[in-house]
Amino acid sequence: MSQPLLSVQNLSTFFHTEAGLARAVDGVSFDVNAGETLGIVGESGCGKSVTALSILRLIQQPGRIEAGSRIEFEGKDLVTLDDAAMRDIRGNRISMIFQEPMSALNPVFTVGDQVAEVARVHGKGSRRDAWNRAVEMLTLTGIPSPEERAKQYPHQLSGGMRQRVLIAMALMMTPALIIADEPTTALDVTIQAQILDLLKGLQTKLGTSILMITHDLGVIAETTSRVLVMYGGEIVEEADVQVLFASAHHPYTEGLMHAMPQITDSRERLNVIPGTVPPPTAWPSGCRFRDRCPYAWEKCEKEHPPLYQIDQGHTSRCHLAVEPDRRAHPHVPLVEQVGATL
Amino acid sequence: MISDTPLPRVDWIATQRKWLGSDRSAAFATVLLLAIALPCLLAPVFAPYDPSAQPDIIGLRSIAPSLLHPFGTDQSSRDILSRVIYGGRLSLTVAIVATLVSVTIGTVYGAVAGFLDGVGGTLLQRILDALLSIPRLLLLIAIFAAWNNAPLPVFILALGLTGWYGLARLVRGQVLALKAQDFVQSARALGATRSRILTRHILPNVVSQVVVAATLGIGHVIVLEAGLSYLGIGVHPPDASWGNIIQEGSDQIAAHWWISFFPGIAIVLTVMAFNVIGDALLRALQPRKSVIE
């Protein structure tokens, strides 16, 4: 395969807080190829949003991208780029769609102004050109009567329309990569489906790569071709989307699949993964998932699992890769036992 | 995450219609202010006499209000109505220009102090704390005790330069809150520079508070100017200002009450009008509060 569009190598973003060092993203590596949609899933606090913000260098104090991290994009290392060059990339070559369309728009300007601002920030063309392009982008995102809508303020638009405005902003400069950080969480399912269809359609039309960040496996199945599963600031499994849904290897991915509501399922309660993500200041020794894992044994406590190769293009950070027989003997995870005695 | 409640958008026309239409006291205050300010700003048209002319220092000396002299005359036979009108022009000008100076400095300082992270922002805030601890009136008295007969522009500048601390603190607080909003982050993600984010994304959201503070500030400066002129520092005779007309009549208030009375009324009504308008603007710009009322 040719050179990847974005290559993240050993990305570590740590927050130096008073409560200690929070290793929010800890040695993450992945590639995004041109025209591809890569998904990142994981529950809250697993580091997926911090990964996205790190790529755009939007991490604020006390967070820091640690030395040794490399983010290669179009031949440049974004970690060491100076601020002016970074601004030139943001919104221009890489753009971002935020998850809350209510608060990602400035309430005192019309949406057309704000979409047009992208072009004006990047110094392309006149005010008139920028406005026309903004209207064109709003049309592309399927907003009805875009010319009138462009003159309205965010509070006059519905949540779905505001999300379309954010997508229009992201598309303004025809970026090579769009990072979509939970673009549909604030929307109801019908609008969600429309927005996802829209993103897919635009991607095939414009050939943009998308990094889709979500906690919703439905969104992953719908939009992506390859998936990273993150847990505890690390990638725990990487696979093509069909492979992941057909034969997930990592116990955490397995747990996520079981926790999905099934349309055929008649049980009343959903399956859950016991416990919560430990705070990033105190990852457990060995495997970070071990105290919530139904298969964990001594080795998981002593040895931090590497990413094992399971198959072509399928890796998993679990010792089960070398001792597959242990999967046959699940037990009650540690956290559930502790919870019962409390 | 961050609150998804959008900030109230400032629609000036709707705002004006709202408080002029539904707020009787604000409508009344606006009419009152216009009735006072318009003649003052067009003083040469409205004043019946030259404010400094002393037509008959014996015959027209200290006469009570009459048809010819509605507000009476002073001990030098000058017409009080004309002096109040010209004095108003000066007092209002001083107040408005001084407030413009302080609002400009306060907004810029507060915005920068709130926007800068780390040592810079903290340092600016500490300087502000120090300035806030100096009593404004005493500082002004000290300045003009040292600089006798300071020219008028210096006086205006001094009023402006000592009046911006409160607003700076208000703006800083607003900017701190706005800085954490998602739309500021998304502007950064679009590649906007810091100065662009500050001027285009943060300041427009602070404008309403600044306008309210400015309106209330004008009323405050009118009183301050009158007080200083009364004390004999500030606007010097023969220039008339509301404060120094009151001062000229103060030693004969029992015998010739009208000399101090009319400029006093002018100050009270003007300041009251500014305060009522300021409060009404505040109410109109905070929609959630006004729903409760």
Instruction: Give the pLDDT band (50/70/90) at residue B19.
Output: low
pLDDT bucket at B292, cuts 50 / 70 / 90: very low
A vs B: CB pairs below 8 A = 89
**Number of Cβ within a 10 Å radius of residue A159:** 15
In chain A, which residue's Cα lies nearest the Cα of B190?
Answer: A91
Using CB atoms, pick whichever of A87, A89, A100 lies closest to residue B4: A100
Contact between A317 and A250 (Cβ < 8 Å): yes
Residues of B in contact with A154 (CB under 8 A): 6
Of A133-137, A247-251, B12-16, B21-25, the range with the lowest mean pLDDT is B12-16
Question: What is the pLDDT at residue A56?
Answer: 92
Partner residue opposite B6 with nearest CB, options A89, A90, A155:
A155
Q: If you compute the radius of gyration of chain A from its CA atoms, what whole number of angstroms results?
A: 21
pLDDT tens profile B206-219:
988 898 899 999 98
Q: Which residues of chain A lie closer than 8 angstroms to B10, CB-CB?
A: 108
Give the nearest partner residue to A90 out of B1, B190, B196, using CB atoms.
Answer: B190
Closest CA to A162 of B194, B111, B52, B6: B6
pLDDT tier, B17 (very low <50, low <70, confident <90, very high otherwise): low
| Residue spans of chain A under pLDDT 70 | 1-2, 265-268, 334-342
Read off the pLDDT of each residue in B213-229 and give the average, rounded to a whole number. Answer: 89
What is the structure's pLDDT at A262? 73
Please report the ipTM that was assigned to this predicted complex. Answer: 0.74
CB B266 within 8 A of CB B242: yes
Q: How far is the C-alpha of A290 from the C-alpha of A184, rounded, in Å?
A: 31
Residue B9 pLDDT class (50, 70, 90 cuts) = low
Q: Is A197 left (phi over 0), alpha (psi -120 to 50) or beta?
A: alpha
Per-residue confidence (pLDDT) for residue B4, from 0 to 100: 46
The better pLDDT of the pair B44, A47 is held by A47
Note whether B182 contacts A121, CB cutoff 8 Å.
no
Contact predicate B152/B235, CB 8 Å: yes
Please tell me the distance in Å from B278's CA to the nearest CA on chain A. 21
Inter-chain touch B189–A103, beta carbons under 8 Å: no
Q: What pLDDT was estimated at residue B293?
A: 36
Which one of A81, A103, A122, A173 makes the best mutation probe of the B interface by having the most chain B beta carbons within 10 Å? A103
By CA distance, what is B196's nearest residue in A?
Answer: A121
Helix (H, G, I), strand (E, B) or coil at A4: coil
User: Comparing C-alpha atoms, which of A341, A254, A334 is closest to residue A301?
Assistant: A334
Give contacts of A119 with chain B, Cβ < 8 Å.
none
B182 with A166: Cβ contact below 8 A: no
Q: Within 10 Å of residue A298's Cβ, how many Cβ atoms?
A: 9
User: Is B65 a residue whose pLDDT tops 90?
Assistant: no
Average pLDDT of span B36-45:
82
pLDDT digits (tens, 9 = 90+) for A192-251: 888 888 888 888 888 899 999 998 888 898 889 999 999 999 999 999 999 999 989 999
Using pLDDT thresholds of 50, 70 and 90, give the confidence band for residue B127. very high
Q: pLDDT band for position B3 (50/70/90)?
A: very low
